[in-house]
Amino acid sequence: MATTLKNTVLTEQLSNTLTEQFRLVRKHTESICKNLHPEDLQLQASDFASPAKWHLAHTSWFFETFLLKPYFAGYNEFNETYNFFFNSYYESVGKRNPRPNRGLMSRPYATEVFSYRKYVDEHMVILLSGEQFDDAGFTMLFELGLQHEQQHQELLLTDIKYALSLNPLFPAVYDLHENRIEDHIEFFEAHSHDNAWISFEEGIYEIGASGSAFSFDNEHPRHKSFLASYSVRKNLVTNREFLEFMNSGGYSNFNYWHADARPWINENEISSPLYWTKKENEWFHYTLNGLTPLNLDAPVTHISFYEAFAFAEWFGMRLLTEQEWEIASTKLNWGTRWEWTSSAYLPYPGFEHAAGALGEYNGKFMVNQMVLRGASLATPASHSRPTYRNFFNPPLRWQFTGIRLARKHGTINT
């Protein structure tokens, strides 16, 4: 009897903890959209971005599809057509609306999407009050659902910013001085001028996630990697430094660029980082607080892999590999910008993707992408860790991306 009572108490405590985690994550997603109007929620400014309305629905679809349907006895879908509208890329789950068409769907309305979120939330709370979390599969899926929603919280901010940046009114959506928002969008902190270098000895190091804390499948398995000796600069590249690159003709000098980058520059008339604009000889950039004078001492952001590589070449340096970055991370201040690496996004030795739909989560994207490490000011604090492998195509720059320099191999350390 005593053992049963003890287990019941522990079960209730765990249930309350999971429910609170769930509510906090879901609430934060909606808080990001607090200042948006229905017209804002519908915007899809590019194929690589999605409407805010879609993010709100897709994260609910994830919990409905992977937790409520298999674990909630007698669960009734909110709307059976939503699987088509809000499935992202899980082909094993069924047909889906093509990504470029997401912004064309004015229906379901935004009000219906919020009703959908409420419906899913209510059923998830009921589900979490049971004992399903004794099932290891359920616990894994629940944690994945939270991490997945946190990914979309960052995408929400960057997609909203990109869409609104195309409005000539340069609308301000958030007050950067409000504490509830400040940790989740860019603010232009004073940047240290300490450009010291940190050196690491040649050796065999262990790379990848370990332990019981959550990690994605692409962070596994933990494995050994040989690294030559290298040095990394303590601070990120600043706007001031990147402006020097621009003023020296960096964008027009083919010697600094990959061959694939030249057509991209010419076709898109690229001559500065995304969101920069010059008015009366002064540089501004668009932020979620509207058009703001450029802080020259803040880390440069919203740049592509092409631009990060070219800047490093111009500077006489290089980008870190993702293995070098992970080992160096213990001695670096990171987390304000996603940092481009020179590593292609490929599976770790021994990587195996999961069976079924969740096997499509990361493994299918291991081609034509580059790895970014760290986190950004838009990344939820509980969603960042040194083994996290973010990845994007080389031309993309709507995320909060930046540059950290390493010395070229063979360079004398000074």
Residue 411 belongs to some domain of the structure: no
Which residue intervals of 256-367 are DSSP H helices?
Answer: 261-268, 305-315, 322-328
User: Which residues span the domain enclosing 267?
Assistant: 197-406
* CA 186 remoteness from chain centre: 14
Structural domain total, the chain: 2
pLDDT of residue 366: 84
Q: pLDDT tens digit string along 234-289? A: 999 999 999 999 999 999 999 999 999 999 999 999 999 999 999 999 999 999 99
What is the DSSP code (8-state) at residue 411? P
The DSSP bridge partners found for residue 405 are 319
Residue 184 belongs to some domain of the structure: no
| CATH number where 100 lies | 1.20.120
Do 260 and 377 belong together in one domain?
Answer: yes
Cβ(67)–Cβ(124) below 8 Å:
yes
Residue 285 belongs to some domain of the structure: yes
Q: How confident is the model at residue 93 (pLDDT cuts 50, 70, 90)?
A: confident
pLDDT of residue 407: 95
pLDDT of residue 5: 34
d(CA 138, CA 135): 5
Is pLDDT of 292 > 60? yes
Q: Residue 210 is encoded by which pair of tokens?
A: 């370990």
As a whole-number percent, the residues of the chain with pLDDT over 70 amount to 89
Cβ(19)–Cβ(125) below 8 Å:
yes
Do 213 and 264 belong together in one domain?
Answer: yes
Mean pLDDT comparison of 82-91, 99-108, 314-323, 364-373, highest-scoring range: 314-323
Q: pTM score, two decimals?
A: 0.91
Q: How confident is the model at residue 11 (pLDDT cuts 50, 70, 90)?
A: very low
* CA 58 remoteness from chain centre: 16
pLDDT of residue 127: 95
Do 144 and 280 belong together in one domain?
Answer: no
Is pLDDT of 135 > 60? yes
Higher pLDDT, 190 or 369: 369
Do 138 and 263 belong together in one domain?
Answer: no
Residue 190 belongs to some domain of the structure: no
Q: Closest Cα partner for 250 from 232, 264, 270, 278?
A: 270
Residue 175 belongs to some domain of the structure: no
The DSSP bridge partners found for residue 199 are 231
Do 153 and 207 belong together in one domain?
Answer: no
| Rg of the chain (C-alpha set) | 23
Residue 412 belongs to some domain of the structure: no
What is the DSSP code (8-state) at residue 192? P
d(CA 57, CA 177): 29
Do 6 and 119 belong together in one domain?
Answer: yes
Q: pLDDT tens digit string along 72-92? A: 999 999 999 999 999 998 887
Q: Which helix (H) or strand (E) holds 371?
A: strand 370-374
Do 130 and 234 belong together in one domain?
Answer: no
Is pLDDT of 2 > 90? no
pLDDT of residue 410: 64
